[in-house]
Structure 1
Amino acid sequence: MLDDYLKANLASWDEAVALHLSSDLYDVAGFKAGGTSLSEIELGELGPFVHEGTRLLHLQCHFGLDTLSWARRGAVVTGVDFSGEGIRAARALADDVGLSARATFVQSDVEHLPDRLSGTFDVVFVSWGALIWLGDLERWADVVAHFLHPGGILYIAEFHPYAFLVADDATPDSLRVGYPYFMYGVPQRFDEDGDYADPDARMEHTVTFEWLHGFAEIIDPLLRRGLRLDFLHELPFTVPGLPFIFLEKDVAGMLRVRGRHDDFPLTFTLKMTRERR
């Protein structure tokens, strides 16, 4: 059954690539002009550990915008995604901005990546809406540990699990729960013809499946594979991309709950280090 979920999600993501390349949300033109797609969150927390020549593996990289933003800061990057359309777009973008010499892109789902990629990395990077597309975080943790060399860093910047619990029609005064926190391996099915980058878009492949993962489900498998928790941060703001009507941009361009800017968690970040043996 998991293959059926994967096929539906892949069809949606393949279709979304062209839409995202031309969207204001991703601002590819700004990136080509020298900008970065990385927020102050990632730059502030992971940036000090990424130097010239840092080997960085970006899991679920979509069409490589964040991956190439790290390459632009000096990292030697490998981006991975299950979408063939995404990987083709990433390679083309790397060529367009002159970063193909320090950027490799691999088409693979996370589970089978060790069969398709060799070597280890200084940093494994996971960000913004990646984990909800994975049904098995035990296998994901295997892959993270496999590719981190001793002393290497896993860094995650993600939407907070709380954000995925809130009902679609919630308001700042009534942030009621609309979705389960514990999913027991069974995904939530969505059938929506819009897209987070363009709610007015009409998608052909409308059915997707998502898994919400709590902190224990994310962190415990990594601890059992020899990673040390360095920090876990919770923040009351997040990057654009969550399509909730109760959010508004603050002066820095980050999303917060309207009228209650500091009351609710929308982002978590996590840094872990693989212990040296």
Structure 2
Amino acid sequence: MNINTASTITILPTRKEKSVCEVQRKLFGDDTNMNSKHCYSFEGKEALRDFMYGHLGECHLRSLRYFDIGQSFAFDTLHNLYRGTFMRLLELWFDTQYRNQPWSLISKIGLIDVSLSIHKFPSTICRTPRTLLKYNDFKASELRCTLLFGFASFSMYLPHKYCRHLLLLVVLAHLCESKSTSSDQTLNIKRLANEFIYQFPLLYGDRQNVISIHTITHLPESVVNFGGVYNYSTFNLESYLGFYSLRY
């Protein structure tokens, strides 16, 4: 809790002596409490909102006997990997509030931006990233392109241990975006995800280990259960939504 405000954040400290499943169960404790809100009475919307712990509402699918909130949804790379995890990293590196932290790149953002601007991206991408100075306004496709192909620009300025940590996410993203996934690839995806999650609080602190980082733990399960992420990517849906919003 921030001592200067009444706001709170949910952190997910992970250590190797704890299994991923244990951390996942801890995460959804609040979610389970929210699901039993019918046991309580609320005088107004604000009281109910506070009880929801920041969630928009309850998920009625939880009443199904074999439904698991973590495993039964396919992993959404658009919102979880690119707009979630990678955007969180960009905020940590370039937000002024972290300028005194060892991972801060705010003094190097201009140099990294120049490096990205002269980078030759594959011709198959649909949108090349705009200037890094506008990273907060990046579309998911720009974040995707930057993560998949911009590692070299960040590696020149990130401290070594943070650079190696980012590389885990880059390789993980490439593997899960593959058109086919073998059993060996699936195993590597799981190892990379677990190592990324384990190292994150050690490098950035437990306070930064929020839900947008934790969601990576569900990526390997999604690949095992539903196949490669291209099968259920929401990037295509976003394109159609944009098309129809302009047309109608």
For the superposition of Structure 1 and Structure 2, which TM-score range results when normalised by the shorter chain? under 0.3
The structure with the largest helix share of the pair is 2
Q: Which structure has the greater CA radius of gyration?
A: 2
Q: TM-score with structure 2 length normalisation? A: 0.25
The structure with the largest strand share of the pair is 1
Q: TM-score with structure 1 length normalisation? A: 0.24
